[in-house]
Amino acid sequence: MKRPNSVRTQFLSAHDVAEIVAKMGLAQVLRGMADYIEADFLRWSDFDKCARVASHSAGGVIELMPISDAKTYAFKYVNGHPKNTLLGLPTVMAFGVLADVDTGVPHLLSELTLTTALRTAAMSAVAARALARAASRCMALIGNGAQSEFQALAFHHLLGIEELRLFDTDRSATAKLVRNLRHTPLRLIVCQSVAHAVRGSDIVTTVTADKTHATILTPGLIQPGMHINGVGGDCPGKTELHADVLRGASVFVEYEPQTRIEGDLQQMPGDFPVTELWQVLAGRAPGRIAPSQVTLFDSVGFALEDYSALRYMDDAARELGVGRPLSLIPELTQPKDLFSLVRPAFKDLSLAA
């Protein structure tokens, strides 16, 4: 068997990912990542899939998200701790790996905190392109925290959203978003309530962080033709939508077994009808079938999206010469002689004894 030339692992830090975004432009990164996600969803059956493995605590959750095809294995480690901001820490922190299936060699280790925000926004846009009305130009953005700017810009660049109606119970979060986006062409309207923000919006994106059964959107707020992008309900015990909002909509999900446990769908009986988004993208199931139809993407984040995001960042980093190699795996003259790495120290200790 031919021995690989190197087992060096390419490493991308958060600064490396930020450099990729700076060199390529945020709009191009969002478009590219959305294209990679859609391409991978179109080969859905190629992947060995499972729901993520979660370890819950009173303060949050830590999760592992694995997936693989015949060539590449990927996983993401990610947490969700809503009170982390009180400690000066991000609510969500993550890293991920791409590895070769044939050898098990990890060829990429990358941050996924910044990349997750990019891929979540790109995924939202992929779903909305398939489900929202084509003429949508106004979006309500409920929850203006760490991921909100990415959602706003993805919908602006990929769907043509022109007006954002903003609401967050934390007014400083909304002020932060306005500062960050004030130089963009987006019209930013700060609203005093969820109802005020939703009124007249073509698309409603909810991206809140509290781990609680919330009802941010209620049936009385929903208007015919709306597309709802529910991003924040992403673990057991955490919801954003009143159950009747789901009952009044056509509901689409990423991976049904996971969404029934983690999404707003957790409120519904096991036979409540949903459609996996890949079927719509592949033309196997209808998406929006009428202008007055209410569509809902119950997004919880799925490992395939992280696979796509890692693959995109790996390609972009190699093209731009970003990142650096790590000696994560021992390089051995004799693969069976792992002890050779410590033999010199062992000899020194033997002499000292």
Catalytic residues, by residue number, are 234
Integer Cα distance of 87 and 64 in angstroms: 23
> Closest Cα to residue 315, out of 106, 117, 32, 23?
32
Distances (CA, A) of 238 to 39, 79, 209, 338: 30, 14, 9, 46
Integer Cα distance of 346 and 341 in angstroms: 10
Dihedral (CA of 304, 308, 314, 317) sign: negative
Helix axes 148-159, 26-41, angle to 10 degrees: 80
Integer Cα distance of 301 and 186 in angstroms: 26
277 in helix, strand or coil? helix
Exposure of 190 in the CB half-sphere (CA atoms within 13 A): 14
Report the b/e string of 227-236 with b at 16+ CB within 10 A.
bbbbbbbbbe
Beta-carbon contacts of residue 14 (< 8 Å; ≥ 6 apart): 111, 113, 114
